Structure 1
Amino acid sequence: MTPVLSARQERIVEILRTTPSITTVDLAQRLDVSGETVRRDLQAMADDGIVQKFHGGVSLHRDVQESPFLLRLRTNVGAKRRLAQLVSKLLPDGASIVLDNSSTACFVAEALAERRGLTVATPSLEVARTLARCGDRHTVMLPGGTLRSSDMTLASASALRFATQLHPDYMVVSVAALSARGGCLDFDPFEVEFKQAVCMHARTVIVVADASKFEAPGLITSLPWTDVQVLVTDCALPPDLAQACAGIRLEIAEATDVSY
C-alpha cells in the first residue's frame, strides 16, 4: 500500500523539491516545529523510501528525484482516495472504461478492486498492475509500444493508434489543471493526444481533479469543457470555474465520504 503523507510531510517534500538538501535545524525553523517533530517525520519518510538522511540533514531519495510519478503517488493521498471511491460509484459493473496514466487513475483502479466484469484499457502499467491484483474480475487491455520508465507508461505511436480504436462507455482521466478559459490543461503532448483520441468515441468523459488543480499551471488544452460530461472534485468550484463548467455534472467527494 502506498504510504500516506501528512500535510506537514507533504510540505517537507515541497521544500526538498526546491532545496535539494537542508539541515534538520533549518527545516524545523521553516516549518515552525520542534527538531524532535521534524526528526520523527523524517524517520517515517526515510522508512518509506521518500527521503534519505545524512549527518545533520536530509534530501529527497534518489528514486523519488528520478521518478516524479512515485512522488505523485505519495502526495495528496486522502483526496485522491476520496475522489476514486466516488468515481467507482459512478461506474456500473460490466462497463468498458479507459483510464489514463495519472496517479489518480492508480487510485481509481484500486477503488475498482471489488467491482466485477469491467473492461479497462489504459496506457499505464501501474494502473494495469493494480487491476491485475483483482485476479480475473476484470479484463485489462494495454497498447503496444515503447515503455516510458519515468511513469511506466506505454507512450508511443502504437498507443495513440490503439486509442483511436477505442469506443468506451467511460473515459476517466485526471489533468494538470482546470482553467476557466482553457478547459482541462496538461503539459505532456502524448497524454494530450491520448485523451483527445479516446474522447472522440467515449460515451461519457469523466474528469477527476482535486482542488489543487483549480487554475493551476498548464500548457496545452487536452479537453475543452464542451467535451466533458462529469467533473469529480473535492470542493465547490470558484465562481469563474463554476461558470465555465455550467452544464457539466458536478460530483463532489466530501471528506466524510471515505473512512480511514
Structure 2
Amino acid sequence: MSLDVGLETRPKLKKQERREHILLELRLRPHVRISELAERFRVSTETVRRDLEKLSADGLLDRAHGGASALASGHYPGFDERASARVEERERIGRMAASLVQPGETLMVDSGSTTVQFARFLAYDGTPCIVITNSFPVAMALGQSDAASVIMCPGDYLPSESAVIGTDAVEFLERHSVDRCLIGATGISEGGPSETVRGFAAIKRAMLRRSTVSHLLVDCEKFGRKGLAQVGNLSDMTSVISDQEPEEELASWLRRADVEVLVAR
C-alpha cells in the first residue's frame, strides 16, 4: 500500500523528462508500449503517443504498432572512417562550397566529413560569417579563423560523430533563420536526400527549413543511394555540390526540381 501511495503522490514528470525516460528505457529493452508508459507516467495514451512521434521525428527511435522500438542496429562507418576516404574529392567539394559564402552571411552547417572540408576552406578564406553547427569538428575548423563566429547547438552528444543530436538541438535550430545551410547526406535519389546516422535526418530537416539557400555537399558515390531516414525532397535544396555530374536519371530528377548541380573540378 505504501508503494501505491508513493506513486500517486510523486510529482508527474515534465515533457522533456518523460522523453528522456523513454530513451533510457529503450537502451534497456528493444520495445516499449504506449499503455505501459502512460500508466507509469500517469498521463494519457495520447500524451505518450505525441512523445513518441516527436522522438521519432527527431530520429531517436522507431515507431512501432502500439509503442516504439530502439533504432535498428547495423554497421555504418563512423565519422573518422568516412573522413579518411575520398579525401581529394571532399576537398574539392569543400573548396567550391566555401567560395559561395559571401562576407557577413549567416550559415547552418551540419556534421559530416565533407562539411568539415568546407569549414576548413571557409576558415582559410577568412570570410566573415556567423555559423551555427551541431558538429564539434566543424566548430574546431572554423575556430582557426578570427573572421568566423561559431555557435554550437545544445543536445545529446553522439561520440561516433563528434556531434550533437536530439530534441534540444532541433528546437535550437528552429529558433534561428540563416542565409544558407550546407549539409551532407548518406545518399541522394529521386526521392531526395536521405540519412543513416541516428538523429541526423531531423537536424538536416531543421536546417533546410530555416535557411533561404541550401546546398547539399555529396561526392558522386552518394548518387542513387538511399539512407534509412528521408531528409526532404529534391525541391528543398538550392544546389547539389559534387565532384562529378550525376547520371542522367538523377540529373533529370534534379532538373525537374529546379536544383542546380555544381561540379567541383
| Residue in structure 2 matching 1:207, options 198, 211, 216 | 216
Paired residue for 2:194? Answer: 185
TM-score (norm 1): 0.69
Query: Would you say the 8 A contact 1:196–1:223 is kept in 2?
Result: yes
In 2, the alpha carbon distance for the partners of 1:222 and 1:244 equals: 16
Counterpart residue type for residue 93 of structure 2: L
Paired residue for 2:264? Answer: 253
Paired residue for 1:133? Answer: 144
Query: Would you say the 8 A contact 1:166–1:201 is kept in 2?
Result: yes
SS in 2 for 1:250: strand
SS in 2 for 1:159: helix
Deviation at 1:156, TM superposition (A): 2.5
Query: Would you say the 8 A contact 1:87–1:108 is kept in 2?
Result: yes
The answer to whether residue 135 in structure 2 is matched with residue 124 in structure 1 is yes
Deviation at 1:216, TM superposition (A): 2.0
107-116 or 76-85, which deviates more:
107-116
| Residue in structure 2 matching 1:241, options 243, 246, 250 | 250
Deviation at 1:110, TM superposition (A): 0.2
The structure with the larger Rg is: 2
SS in 1 for 2:161: coil
| Gap regions ≥5 residues in structure 1 | 1-64, 255-260
Counterpart residue type for residue 241 of structure 2: V
Deviation at 1:194, TM superposition (A): 1.1
Deviation at 1:145, TM superposition (A): 2.6
Counterpart residue type for residue 136 of structure 2: L
RMSD across aligned C-alpha pairs, in angstroms? 1.7
Deviation sequence 1:120-147 (CA, Å, 0-9, x none): 010011110111122x211000112332
In 2, the alpha carbon distance for the partners of 1:71 and 1:94 equals: 34
Paired residue for 2:203? Answer: 194
Paired residue for 2:107? Answer: 97
SS in 1 for 2:199: helix
Deviation at 1:66, TM superposition (A): 11
Query: Would you say the 8 A contact 1:160–1:193 is kept in 2?
Result: yes
Counterpart residue type for residue 228 of structure 1: M
The answer to whether residue 219 in structure 2 is matched with residue 219 in structure 1 is no
Query: Would you say the 8 A contact 1:232–1:250 is kept in 2?
Result: yes
Q: Cα gap change, 1:67/1:129 in structure 2, threshold over 3 Å: closer, same or farther?
A: farther
In 1, the alpha carbon distance for the partners of 2:76 and 2:249 equals: 36
Counterpart residue type for residue 138 of structure 2: V
117-126 or 141-150, which deviates more:
141-150
TM-score (norm 2): 0.68
SS in 2 for 1:169: strand
In 2, the alpha carbon distance for the partners of 1:249 and 1:105 equals: 19
| Residue in structure 2 matching 1:115, options 126, 138, 143 | 126
Counterpart residue type for residue 83 of structure 1: I
Paired residue for 2:12? Answer: none
Q: How much identity, in percent, do the aligned residues show?
A: 21
In 1, the alpha carbon distance for the partners of 2:93 and 2:197 equals: 23
Query: Would you say the 8 A contact 1:166–1:198 is kept in 2?
Result: no
Paired residue for 1:10? Answer: none
Q: Cα gap change, 1:75/1:95 in structure 2, threshold over 3 Å: closer, same or farther?
A: same
| Gap regions ≥5 residues in structure 2 | 1-74
